[in-house]
Amino acid sequence: MEILNYINGEWIRPDVKEYLDVINPATGALEARTPLCGVAAVNAAAEAAAQALPGWRRIPAQDRVQYLFKLKFLLEDNLDEISRTITNECGKTFEEAKAEMRRAIENVEVAGGIPMMSKGEISEDIAPGIDEIMLRQPVGVCATIAPFNFPGMIPFWYLPYALATGNTYIVKPSERVPMTMMVIFRLIEKLGLPKGVINMVHGGKEAVDGILDHPAIRAITFVGSTPTARYIYRRAAENGKRVQAQGGAKNPVIVLPDADMEMATKIIADSAFGCAGQRCLAVSWAVTVGEARNPFMELICDAAASRTVGYGLDAGVQMGPVINHGSKARIEQLIGVGVNEGAAIPVDGRATSVKGYENGAFIRPTILADVKPGSEIARTEIFGPVLSLMHVNTIDEAIALANSGVYGNQASLFTSSGSAARKFRYEVDAGNIGINIGVAAPMAFFPFSGWKESFFGDMHGQGMDAVEFFTQKKIVVERWPKEWTRKF
Ligand code: NAD
């Protein structure tokens, strides 16, 4: 597939010297080459978006959302093609890709309610004849910088909200997975939006820096790793922009002895190994309490060892490869660190290959047991199909352990006790909580929360948070003395 920029309603072949090969992580086939654009492409997109802004914001919100209604049906009608593209560039299974796109579509649906969600407020007679009005106006030109692991869904935490609230918009997909947004932009093109309202620029750091520094871009959303999130947050804020930056994760799950062990194991395995562990809500370490240790250990090792790994478009495959060989090497090296630090490795998924896909970046599910709190493997985000096990004697110790990390994206608890669940929900420091849930992904009408070093900013993506993020409030105080009215 040829990867092009989309600027001012036109497909543009970028004039660049450097490209990044997009390799199918399962088959090893070359799928595309991402042009690594620089500041010139960003400037052109920002200029187009700035020019489109006055006309777009004048269109009533109830008319702007009509484009979203059309987009919803286009996405649904093309779900299989988009999902196949996700599998071929990102590695996850076809079913996982479809589930990803369903959440994207759900965000389009929720943003369809923006005429109501973005309406203003008025207080009459704050003093006799004086009214106070709160208007929500668009922020201006906005941009999203996306990660590789959800090439279709993550831009949709923002895109429909940014457009429907009257902003113009630029997307920069991850350079590792540019094809999904190419397919989606071919659909967006069919909407007939005014030129420049939505634009796409491909590239890596240089394009990102262009976005961070461009004076016309007023708000930026980012999703990716914590070091990049911190950088984006700092540089965008320094330039006076509104910014939210979602970072990495290391999500704990606590298993109490009263949990339904079979259900817990199945759900935890799906969370840890689904999308090959490359999900920011994947559980990556499990803390068993008291007598939960042995039954959980036995069942989770069986679940890990029996998972079917392969090319995500083949029938019966439960887990695809990781994104590339560099990532595979990094994950295997980290597993080695865990073993050197004294962890046992009852299920070892390293040095594996899949018949027929010998060039694929496959790692099988891996379990590290007796991982020491505070060790490197206990602290580092692995972002692969690896579950670390720890054990304590009380729920208080388990919660203290869960709160000891720097991240706060998600924490889960498996129990049949309501009071334990309430205690956990109350005390644990994370923005998304699962009670007998492995991936506590918020529906599109809730914010995609995230705390501590998993998030920099205050308003999140999705739902009302996104409406808040993409609008700025204007307060108007008006005096209309009674005596003036009498003149008519
Ligand atoms: P990444 O940080 O490497 O890249 C994300 C984006 O930042 C890409 O568009 C990339 O071009 C850009 N980028 C990368 N390095 C940069 C630099 N030095 N300067 C400027 N821009 C740069 O992240 P990734 O590997 O694509 O995604 C995986 C990470 O994202 C994991 O850490 C995962 O936990 C996190 N993630 C978080 C959430 C969340 O909601 N908190 C969701 C999905 C993924």
pLDDT, position 111: 98
Catalytic member of 142, 275, 280, 301: 280
CA dihedral of 338, 343, 344, 350, whole degrees rounded to 10 = 0
- The mean per-residue pLDDT over the stretch 279-304 comes to 98
Q: What's the CA gap between 427 and 285, in Å, rounded?
A: 18
Output the ligand 1 site: residues, CB below 6 A: 145-150, 172, 174-175, 204-205, 208, 223-225, 228, 231, 246-249, 280, 381, 383, 409, 448, 450, 454
Q: Is the pLDDT of residue 48 over 80?
A: yes
Average pLDDT in the chain: 97
Whose CA is closest to 462, among 101, 166, 158, 104?
A: 158
335-354 pLDDT per residue, tens: 999 999 999 999 999 989 99
pLDDT, position 483: 83
Element housing 284 (H / E): strand 283-289
Q: What's the CA gap between 159 and 296, in Å, rounded?
A: 41
Catalytic residue list contains 280: yes
Question: Domain 251-435 carries which CATH code?
Answer: 3.40.309.10
Burial tier of 487 (Cβ tally within 10 Å: 0-12, 13-18, 19+)? exposed
For a pocket test of ligand 1, which of 20, 171, 228 has the largest count of ligand atoms closer than 8 A to its C-beta?
228
pLDDT, position 488: 66
Whose CA is closest to 364, among 349, 384, 344?
A: 349
Q: Is the pLDDT of residue 328 over 80?
A: yes
Do 5-247+454-476 and 251-435 fold alike per CATH? no
For 310-329, b/e burial (b = at least 16 CB within 10 A) is bbbbbeebbbbbbbbeebbe
Q: What's the CA gap between 464 and 462, in Å, rounded?
A: 7
**Residue carrying structure tokens 């991240």:** 407
CA of 246 to the centre of ligand 1 (A): 9
261-275 pLDDT per residue, tens: 999 999 999 999 999
Phi-psi domain of 481 (left: phi exceeds 0; alpha: psi -120 through 50; beta: other): beta
Angle CA 240–147–264, to nearest 5: 120
DSSP helix/strand/coil, 235: helix
As beta bridge partners, residue 23 has 30
Atom of ligand 1 nearest to the CA of 227: 2
Please state the domain extents for the chain. 5-247+454-476, 251-435
Band of pLDDT at residue 484, cut at 50, 70 and 90: confident
- The mean per-residue pLDDT over the stretch 309-314 comes to 98
User: Residue 271: which residues within 8 A CB-CB, separation 6 or more?
Assistant: 253, 279, 281, 282, 283, 412, 438, 439
pLDDT, position 481: 87
Q: What top-level class would CATH report for the domain 5-247+454-476?
A: alpha beta
Q: Is the pLDDT of residue 365 over 90?
A: yes
CA of 284 to the centre of ligand 1 (A): 18
- The mean per-residue pLDDT over the stretch 47-65 comes to 98
106-119 pLDDT per residue, tens: 999 999 999 999 99
Band of pLDDT at residue 487, cut at 50, 70 and 90: low
210-252 pLDDT per residue, tens: 999 999 999 999 999 999 999 999 999 999 999 999 999 999 9
Band of pLDDT at residue 485, cut at 50, 70 and 90: confident
